[in-house]
Structure 1
Amino acid sequence: MPRTSARPRRLISASAPAKVRAVAAVEPGVLDPQAWLVRTAKLPLWPLTAMFALMPLWWGLGVFYFVWPFFGMVLLALLTTRGDVRLPTGTWLWFILLGLVVISATRLDRATSLAVFGLRLSHLCTALIVGVYVYNVARDRASWVKIANPLAFFWLGMVALGWCGVLFPKFSAPSPFELLLPQGVQSERFITDLVRLDTTEFNKLSNNPIYRPAAPYPFTNNWGTAYSFLVPFVLAYLTSVRRGKMRIVLLVSLPLSLVPAFLTLNRGMFIGLGAGVLYLLGREIAKGRVRLLLPIAAIVLAGWIVTLFIPVVDLITNRTSTTDTTSDRFDLYVQTWAAVLHSPLLGFGQPNSVDTTHAAEPLGTQGMIWQLLYSHGIPATVCFYVLLLLLARRLAGAVTPAGLWLSALPVIAAVVTPFYAYIDPNMSVLLFAVGLGLAAVDGPVNREPKPGLEVHP
């Protein structure tokens, strides 16, 4: 007589909804049965929605940079409460980086610098928490669309604010948060830049000044950095989701975003995106595939059409020929490296001035590599680049078009480091998208266990 079990067994097939596809195929390492187990206590998505989708609200209140760490603490509390947290590739290396950053605080020359140092450190911690949170939510097999929507709304908000810079370039007003700050705090240039509502960045010292879209960021370079991180994410969304209102909105927003993007005149943004495209094309051609040629050709065509109305090349050439931005940057890099040699292990804790080439010796600014070197030393800088290398290597396991787009993010992040720093909300944007890609490569995303695999309730 055959044995029977008091607890019925459930067999779940490995079928994925036609509406949503996984970002990458399951890797061999996922054959471990534990990888298919779903956590009983699922992480909620509302913190990600409040954090990313409501970004225009936080900017309008003037608390965009300051509310970010509080959401990071909420995500950490939820992860800690749920427990059984999976750690994605590079997490321990990230912990080492944070440890080096904390130790570098001993090099600060005055106690008042601790507030700014703490803000930057909190953004680094928040970015790690966001990446881990997204990774665990995706590995719990929550809907990929629902997980990605908060970042999609962030993109839409950034494009909308970019267009505000195009249509209302001279808009400038104090935010509600700025009005509440003590007079002494308002006089701090760094704080004023973060809390004031400016749709554009405008350099009065330029011989040919131009209003460059910047909102929700204080500087247009931050906008360009976010754009270079978000475009691959949007393309991944469009190639993995075949229907729905968000897909339609993103399809419309992508070509519309080219206008504020081009008007930023951010050379580093174009270099970063170009490097990402070349990286993907090289990988595809090496494998004898050409499936990305069509979408890349469509993007290039859309960009070329925009240049018919916006003389981007002429504007950039005019800007570089009528300002000292290139020579200023090169001189800044030389001075920064000379200063780093005086404190190569721990740096100086933070940059010693505001983020502008016309400030007196703004060492440690104008690029992620320079900020890391000057603020936290050579070991921390090496640690960061090794981390990007590990992420790129792991994401290289992606096989679908959507996964390929996300795999370009570590490459783009590395290429833009000489030009842009992103120890701010953009680091969370980067690790949000990277977390999605890692989850898809490391385990089942939006799919059920394989046929015949037993799952007990």
Structure 2
Amino acid sequence: MPRPLPRWPLYALFVAFPIWWTLGLGDMIWPLFAIPMTVLLLRHGRLRAPRGFGLWLLFLVWMLASAIQIDTGGRMIGFFYRALIYLAATVIFLYVYNGTERDLPARRVALTLTAYWAAVIAGGYLGVLFPHGSLDTPMAHIVPQGLQSNELVAHMVNPRFSQGNPDGFWQNEPRPSAPFAYTNGWGHNYAELIPFVLVALAFLRRGPLFRLVLVLLPVSLIPAFLTVNRGMFVALGLGLGYAALRMTVRGNAKGLLTLGALLIAALGVNLAIGVEDRVADRVSNSATNETRLAVYQEAYERTLESPLFGYGAPRPSLLGEGVPAVGTQGQFWNVLFSHGFVGAALFLGWFVWLCWRTRRAPTATALWTHVVVVMTTVMIFYYGLMDSGLVIVMIAGALALREAESHPPTRPRAAPLLATPTPPRVPAPA
């Protein structure tokens, strides 16, 4: 008889995340808590994995093998961190997938991630209200200064509240980013978490916690819009539109009304703070689209020179000063450049398989977690997923698979080919 999997690791990861962030451990908490989760999985007694999981395992092997391409100590730090995140996301996926509805009920998982969403909103408001702010964490006084010269480590131990130039706030700068290093990190986490919030509302239905989450939804739109995060808008539009289409086909009027109310709230906030003008100003005064396309092309062309294992990690662009490093503008491009064409095919194949395997979505929880996977499969082409973004989508995939397996499709039983026809029943005479 398998031992039950306790819920406390998920609570410690997501509900207590503000504590880890203020300590300077926000980016490292995922691999740290993967250790006790691994022990608990081994003690569980029966470890299961879904069909198709071999794609992800092959990607992990290929990713680790590409370490032979690392050429500097600084890049090895980045490679080691990303490898830990990949492995931690794998452990967390297996933990949720192996948990039963009794051990790790979908309701508890959704509420846990809703608590994390609330922390993301609070971080967004820190960026709005204190754009000049940053956090001097205890880890900043422990980590050697030599390590803090690495940009990744510096962001971990001295997290800032916003990204950009604080003096240009009304020109869409700075943009809220806390509790993440970059505004794009805030955007993709927010987009991935909204479906979990809707699942939590469906489970709660009424009560003080239901009302609190209901109030937080429109409140959360203010920092979300002030990020002027076009990728987040695209992902949410795609995900909610796809969910609305599925609900229409199923005749789910209640779900469509919920989405309609959310859309009305979004339009209201949009009118109140002039999001359209901010987005138009950002588009007209920014060359990020052209720069991104140039970096994507460079990632592809340079990978042709090292097609098997890539370069192990992002490297400076050859396009000139001020251009982002190749492999930093989208998770797919990071994997392609860092781990070659085989690594990219395995990585993308895993997400495509996960979309296909969870497409049936027999329950509301299954539908919304499937939506997270679909949205993320699009976002990997323009957002990086390292740390929490990858963890969230793996949790969504594990829950969607669990729901699909616990609600197998019902098919009408076929009649035997040689069955003797049943004679028609003759009513008895009155």
TM-score, normalised by the number of residues in structure 2:
0.88
Of 317-326 and 262-271, more deviation after overlay is shown by 317-326
1:398 counterpart residue number: 361
C-alpha displacement at 1:89, in angstroms?
A: 4.6
Amino acid across the alignment from 1:303: A
Q: Aligned partners of 2:313, 2:209: CA distance in 1, in Å? A: 40
SS for the counterpart of 1:198 is coil
**1:88-99 correspondence runs (5 A):** 88-99=50-61
1:168 paired to 2:130? yes
1:124 paired to 2:86? yes
Of 299-308 and 87-96, more deviation after overlay is shown by 87-96
Change in CA separation of 1:104 and 1:205 when aligned onto 2, cut-off 3 Å: farther
Q: Aligned partners of 1:191, 1:353: CA distance in 2, in Å? A: 18
Q: Residues 25-59 of structure 1, C-alpha deviation per residue, up to 9 Å, x if partnerless? A: xxxxxxxxxxxxxx552111111111111111111
Q: Aligned partners of 1:120, 1:265: CA distance in 2, in Å? A: 27
Q: Select 2:141's aligned residue among 160, 179, 192.
A: 179
2:330 counterpart residue number: 367
Of 416-425 and 264-273, more deviation after overlay is shown by 416-425
Amino acid across the alignment from 1:323: S
1:155 paired to 2:117? yes
1:307 counterpart residue number: 270
Q: Residues 411-441 of structure 1, C-alpha deviation per residue, up to 9 Å, x if partnerless? A: 1011112210102222112212322222122
1:42 paired to 2:4? yes
Q: Select 1:280's aligned residue among 221, 230, 243.
A: 243
C-alpha displacement at 1:345, in angstroms?
A: 2.1
Q: Aligned partners of 2:57, 2:316: CA distance in 1, in Å? A: 27
2:232 counterpart residue number: 269
Amino acid across the alignment from 2:295: L
Q: Residues 106-130 of structure 1, C-alpha deviation per residue, up to 9 Å, x if partnerless? A: 1111244222211101111111111
1:227 paired to 2:190? yes
1:103 paired to 2:65? yes
1:83 counterpart residue number: 45
Q: Aligned partners of 2:214, 2:365: CA distance in 1, in Å? A: 15
2:340 counterpart residue number: 377
Q: Aligned partners of 1:360, 1:280: CA distance in 2, in Å? A: 37
Gaps of 5+ in 1: 1-38, 446-457
Amino acid across the alignment from 1:248: R
TM-score, normalised by the number of residues in structure 1:
0.83
Change in CA separation of 1:237 and 1:149 when aligned onto 2, cut-off 3 Å: closer
Q: Aligned partners of 2:108, 2:162: CA distance in 1, in Å? A: 32
Change in CA separation of 1:202 and 1:69 when aligned onto 2, cut-off 3 Å: same
Gaps of 5+ in 2: 409-430
Q: Aligned partners of 1:401, 1:162: CA distance in 2, in Å? A: 28
Q: Aligned partners of 1:382, 1:335: CA distance in 2, in Å? A: 18
Q: Select 1:342's aligned residue among 271, 284, 305.
A: 305
1:320 paired to 2:283? yes
Q: Aligned partners of 2:4, 2:130: CA distance in 1, in Å? A: 43
Q: Aligned partners of 2:6, 2:321: CA distance in 1, in Å? A: 45
Q: Residues 311-350 of structure 1, C-alpha deviation per residue, up to 9 Å, x if partnerless? A: 1121121112223222211221221111111112211111
1:260 counterpart residue number: 223
SS for the counterpart of 1:329 is helix
More helix per residue: 2
Maintained 8 Å contact 1:201/1:213? yes
Change in CA separation of 1:291 and 1:244 when aligned onto 2, cut-off 3 Å: closer
C-alpha displacement at 1:204, in angstroms?
A: 7.4
Amino acid across the alignment from 2:231: G
Amino acid across the alignment from 1:168: F
Change in CA separation of 1:359 and 1:73 when aligned onto 2, cut-off 3 Å: farther
1:202 counterpart residue number: 164
Q: Aligned partners of 2:49, 2:206: CA distance in 1, in Å? A: 32
Q: Residues 87-122 of structure 1, C-alpha deviation per residue, up to 9 Å, x if partnerless? A: 235422211111111111111112442222111011
1:14 counterpart residue number: none
C-alpha displacement at 1:378, in angstroms?
A: 1.5
Q: Aligned partners of 1:49, 1:289: CA distance in 2, in Å? A: 32
Note the aligned Cα RMSD (angstroms): 2.4
Percentage of pairs with the same residue:
34
Q: Aligned partners of 2:371, 2:324: CA distance in 1, in Å? A: 34
Amino acid across the alignment from 1:400: T
Amino acid across the alignment from 2:65: I
Amino acid across the alignment from 1:100: W
Q: Aligned partners of 1:391, 1:112: CA distance in 2, in Å? A: 34
SS for the counterpart of 1:197 is coil
1:6 counterpart residue number: none
C-alpha displacement at 1:359, in angstroms?
A: 3.9
C-alpha displacement at 1:288, in angstroms?
A: 5.7
Q: Aligned partners of 1:88, 1:43: CA distance in 2, in Å? A: 18
1:215 counterpart residue number: 178
C-alpha displacement at 1:190, in angstroms?
A: 2.4
1:27 counterpart residue number: none
Q: Aligned partners of 2:105, 2:250: CA distance in 1, in Å? A: 30
Change in CA separation of 1:245 and 1:390 when aligned onto 2, cut-off 3 Å: farther
Q: Residues 1-45 of structure 1, C-alpha deviation per residue, up to 9 Å, x if partnerless? A: xxxxxxxxxxxxxxxxxxxxxxxxxxxxxxxxxxxxxx5521111
C-alpha displacement at 1:247, in angstroms?
A: 2.8
Q: Select 1:114's aligned residue among 76, 80, 98.
A: 76
Q: Aligned partners of 1:142, 1:326: CA distance in 2, in Å? A: 42
Q: Select 2:314's aligned residue among 335, 351, 359.
A: 351
Of 197-206 and 429-438, more deviation after overlay is shown by 197-206
Q: Aligned partners of 2:30, 2:387: CA distance in 1, in Å? A: 9
SS for the counterpart of 2:27 is helix
1:54 paired to 2:12? no
Of 409-418 and 322-331, more deviation after overlay is shown by 322-331
1:134 counterpart residue number: 96
Number of aligned residue pairs: give it: 405
Q: Aligned partners of 2:111, 2:254: CA distance in 1, in Å? A: 25
1:298 counterpart residue number: 261
Q: Aligned partners of 2:201, 2:106: CA distance in 1, in Å? A: 12
Maintained 8 Å contact 1:340/1:347? yes
Q: Aligned partners of 2:234, 2:110: CA distance in 1, in Å? A: 26
**Larger RCO (alpha carbons 8 Å, 6+ apart):** 1
